[in-house]
Amino acid sequence: MKKEITTQDRIQRITAMEMLYDEIVTELGHLQKQQTLPELLQKKILDLERYYESADWLADKEADDCGELPKSLKRGILTEDTIYDLLCEADTRR
């Protein structure tokens, strides 16, 4: 039996993924275009990619679309283009 996800669980997951996204953006910004991505940064990107491709991301997006999340919650990662664009940029540098 699958555990019921609470709004608080969802908020914590979204917040963690937002922080991960921000870390990746910052680290990519510090690297020269021609540099190979460090292993830790590649892991972070993979973690974010897994979330984006998961049922969790879709459920979080649907909860947001239904107004179930607080308006004050940072939720840029729930827009499809945000993560997709970052993953495309990272792919060009792998």
**Assigned domain for 30 exists:** yes
Average pLDDT over residues 14-39: 90
For residue 51, what are the domain limits?
Answer: 7-91
**pLDDT tens-digit series, residues 40-94:** 999 999 999 999 999 999 999 999 999 999 999 999 999 989 999 999 988 887 6
**Does residue 1 lie in a domain region?**
no
Confidence grade of residue 1 (pLDDT, cut at 50, 70, 90): low
Is 46 within the bounds of a domain?
A: yes
Q: For residue 45, what are the CA distances in angstroms to 25, 35, 71? A: 10, 16, 27
* Nearest C-alpha neighbor of 5 from the set 77, 43, 58, 73: 58
Domains of the chain: total: 1
Q: Does a structural domain hold residue 68? A: yes
Indicate whether this model's pTM tops 0.85.
yes
As a whole number of angstroms, the distance between CA 39 and CA 43 comes to 6
